[in-house]
């Protein structure tokens, strides 16, 4: 086993939204077939599925073997990786490390989630499983509740205004207008965000990522398995980190330590300065989470993420474009699939296949995928293959 370079050779994904006519495994197959095109009928060495709550959402576990069979690839080693909303990024990290180490030469990674078959309160229950049953679920707190009290703390401690915070969902929606696979393709204004239904004061409906179905996949290969015909993107670094589990247990609730450490690790592996990145796909499941993520990665000073976004720093043509296809708020957030959508989008950007959403001259990109309120963070850095 020799260490090699590792690449994304191709990607596949479904639109995010309502897929009433498709089962969880149908969605996974659709995305997988797209990513497997360069391999023809050849099976990858492993199939790794990222998914958060198929047991609750689709009465289905054992996704690895089921997907391998559904693809006509029974016999291929296959299994699921779960890390709440960072399941997709975490599954990809496993594939990256296996392929990079030379333990295997190729892996298909598929992130998939089916959420729309559930009632809204069932979705809340399923998402709350990312937090402790004994101390967080026990008091009736949803995931939105934790982010709501985090948003209040952020705004009160660092003098962030409602209007500033709205600039992150506004940016996402603007970018999604031209993104064919995005769930919501309408532009919004800060006034719309500020007037939307109250969910967990001060967070409103348009601060929160929507509920949707979707699957996204990538084919990861090393130099021994590189398909000739396809455009390669090199995986330059990838790291998972964890924080103290729940925000209320942390000394500083405004420090996204998992993201800070994962980003630091991944960018060091890549040997790049953070300012070399052409774009970052940021995990903004809630507006406040997007802001704290940008601050943890060092792109904005503490408390300045939203005002920097408002000033255009993170918009197309700005210093560092983020969420180039709409991010979690507007592309959508089918939780276990989200990390793989981010990676698929980074691939499109670095191969010049991003269409109207193309960041001109994009050379390096990062994806940041959170589970819980930054309890887990999986960060990957990509670059054009030499």
Partner 1 sequence: MPQTGTIVTYTHLHEPLPGFEAQAPFYIAVVKLGNGAKILTQIVDSPDGSVKTGAKVRATVRRARVDGDSGQIVYGYKFTVV
| Residues with Cβ within 8 Å of residue 338, at least 6 apart in sequence | 85, 88, 111, 113, 283, 328, 369
Q: What are phi and psi of 85, to 5 degrees?
A: -70, -10
Question: Which one among 61, 191, 201, 223 touches partner 1, defined by CB under 8 A?
Answer: 201
Q: Quick check: 156 binds partner 1 (CB under 8 A)?
A: yes
Residues 117-123: contacts with CB within 8 Å, 24+ apart?
Answer: 117/20, 117/57, 117/58, 117/213, 118/56, 118/57, 120/211, 122/56, 123/211
Minimum distance between the CB of residue 146 and partner 1, rounded to whole angstroms?
A: 8
CB-nearer residue toward partner 1: 103 or 138: 138
**Crossing angle, helix 143-158 and helix 287-296, to 10 degrees?**
60
67 burial via Cβ count (<10 Å: 0-12, 13-18, 19+) = buried
Minimum distance between the CB of residue 195 and partner 1, rounded to whole angstroms?
A: 15
Q: Quick check: 203 binds partner 1 (CB under 8 A)?
A: yes
- Which pair of structure tokens corresponds to residue 343? 């990676």
Helices (H) and strands (E) in the chain, counts: 13, 11
Q: How many residues bind partner 1 (CB under 8 A)?
A: 35
Q: Quick check: 269 binds partner 1 (CB under 8 A)?
A: no
Q: Quick check: 246 binds partner 1 (CB under 8 A)?
A: yes
Residues 86-125 that bind partner 1 (CB under 8 A): 120-122, 124-125
Question: Which one among 36, 109, 112, 141 touches partner 1, defined by CB under 8 A?
Answer: 141
Minimum distance between the CB of residue 254 and partner 1, rounded to whole angstroms?
A: 10
Q: Quick check: 210 binds partner 1 (CB under 8 A)?
A: no
Q: DSSP readout, 153-173?
A: HHHHHHT--HHHHHHHHHHHH
Question: Which residue is catalytic, options 85, 181, 283, 380?
Answer: 85
3-state per-residue secondary structure call for 90-118:
HHHHHHHHHHHHCCCCEEEEEEEECCCCC
In this structure, what DSSP letter does residue 52 have?
Answer: S
Respond yes or no: is residue 85 known to be catalytic: yes
Question: Which one among 74, 103, 198, 268 touches partner 1, defined by CB under 8 A?
Answer: 198
Q: Quick check: 196 binds partner 1 (CB under 8 A)?
A: no
Minimum distance between the CB of residue 236 and partner 1, rounded to whole angstroms?
A: 38
Minimum distance between the CB of residue 154 and partner 1, rounded to whole angstroms?
A: 9
Respond yes or no: is residue 19 known to be catalytic: no
Rule CB under 8 A: which residues touch partner 1?
Answer: 120-122, 124-125, 128, 135-142, 144-146, 148-153, 156, 198-203, 246-249, 253
């Amino acid at each position: 086993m020799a260490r090699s370079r590792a690449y994304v050779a191709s990607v596949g994904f479904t639109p995010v939204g309502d897929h009433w006519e498709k089962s969880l495994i149908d969605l996974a197959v659709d995305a997988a077939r797209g990513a497997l095109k360069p391999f023809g009928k050849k099976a990858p060495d492993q199939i790794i599925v990222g998914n958060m709550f198929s047991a609750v959402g689709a009465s289905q576990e054992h996704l690895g073997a089921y997907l391998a069979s559904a693809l006509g690839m029974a016999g291929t080693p296959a299994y699921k990786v779960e890390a709440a909303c960072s399941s997709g990024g975490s599954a990809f990290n496993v594939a990256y490390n296996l392929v990079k180490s030379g333990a295997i030469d190729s892996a298909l990674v598929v992130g998939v989630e089916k959420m729309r078959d559930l009632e809204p309160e069932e979705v809340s229950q399923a998402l709350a499983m990312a937090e402790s049953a004994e101390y967080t679920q026990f008091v009736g707190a949803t995931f939105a509740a934790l982010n709501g009290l985090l948003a209040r703390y952020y705004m009160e401690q660092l003098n962030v205004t409602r209007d500033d915070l709205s600039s992150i969902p506004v940016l996402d929606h603007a970018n999604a207008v031209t993104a064919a696979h995005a769930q919501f393709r309408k532009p919004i204004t800060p006034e719309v965000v500020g007037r939307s239904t109250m969910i967990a004061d001060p967070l409103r409906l348009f601060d929160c990522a929507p509920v949707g179905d979707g699957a996204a996949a990538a084919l990861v290969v090393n130099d021994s398995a590189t398909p000739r015909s396809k455009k390669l993107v090199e995986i330059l670094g990838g790291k998972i980190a964890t924080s103290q589990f729940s925000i209320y247990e942390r000394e500083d609730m405004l420090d996204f330590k998992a993201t800070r450490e994962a980003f630091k690790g991944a960018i060091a592996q890549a040997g790049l300065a953070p300012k070399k990145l052409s774009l970052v796909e940021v995990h903004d499941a809630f507006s406040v989470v997007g802001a704290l993520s940008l601050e943890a990665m060092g792109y904005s000073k503490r408390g300045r993420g939203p005002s920097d976004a408002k000033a255009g720093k993170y918009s197309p043509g700005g210093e560092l474009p983020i969420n180039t296809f709409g991010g979690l708020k507007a592309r959508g957030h089918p939780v276990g699939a989200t990390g793989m959508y981010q990676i698929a989008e980074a691939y499109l950007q670095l191969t010049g296949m991003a269409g109207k959403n193309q960041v001109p001259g994009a050379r390096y990109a990062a994806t940041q995928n959170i589970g819980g309120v930054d309890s887990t963070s999986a960060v990957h850095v990509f670059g054009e293959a030499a």
